[in-house]
Structure 1
Amino acid sequence: MEKSRTNKWVQIGSLALGIALLPPLWAVLAPLLGVRPGAVALICAGVYVAAGNQRQKALPMINGFLLGDLWAVLSLWLMAILNFNPQVELYLVLFVFGGMAVVGGENLPRYIYTPAWLCGWAIGLTVMGNLAVTKLGSLPFEIGIAMVVGVIYVGIGVASFQQWLIEKIAKH
């Protein structure tokens, strides 16, 4: 087999092994650690990888996800207070908060990755949207933990494992 095809299969195989080993471990441990929405980590890892799998983007991405989580709580809280027409409330909150997130994130790109903020907000609204604000409990914190785990453990962890495995294979 030619070298470039071999390298391709080493890349694919090492990534497949990393994905097969590490994220399932989180899926098993998350509920034991009290993190109910563990799958949020996989979504956030996917965004991290789609954004280029670059470690220098990890902190701005984490900040964005956590701001999105906060944005979801604030959105739900505001809609509960407004309490007039759910469709109009939703539109107004999405309009105002979406615009504010873009302006905030785009003016601080070194610290906040805007797509992660918007994605984190969507994740938060999806996971918490059917609950009354008074019933959220620790769920926003659990979502935040899963977001951080997604970027660091799944995103960076799988990439680091893959690189380590490729180096070991290259030595033999």
Structure 2
Amino acid sequence: MLRFKRYNQNGQIFSIDALVALIIATLVLGITLQVMESQSYNLKQEQVFNEIKTIGHNAANLIVSLPESTCDLMAEDGITKLINLNNCIDSQKLSALTKDSLGIPTGYSCKIGNQTNNMATCNDDPSTATNVYSEKRIVLMHAGNVTKNNFNACFNGLPTCALKNEKNWIEVKLWK
């Protein structure tokens, strides 16, 4: 005669312990994937900001050193150009600068200037942007050329220095 074997209460196919272990392993795997995704996103954001920072820093260096933006030091005759004065921005030249001359590629927005003088091609509004890089430089903001006599007077701290009240700043803001 055939008899059917009956399972007792301890003879389960899946034990509760195995089920709990499987749930815990799934949770750990899910948390690990979420952390990896978060780290990947943070790394990507950091790379984007580092790119913006590099371009912005280079633009700030160029704006205080390019002949297209700096003051010309002229000889006493007023005709012979001696050198370009780094960190002396000619406010008359500032509006004619281009993004390309400062190494700012297309696809980037920028605002370069101060409270009174702004670069015409870089005058966007950063109020709604994220990841804005900003660098402020202390400069002399002068309209036109600087004569050697005036430069020497300023260098020697004489009261005849015409540049003493022209200490100013220029700010480079860049975002993508």
Q: Which structure has the larger Rg? A: 2
- TM-score, normalised on structure 1? 0.26
If each structure's helix is expressed as a fraction of its own residues, which one has the higher value? Answer: 1
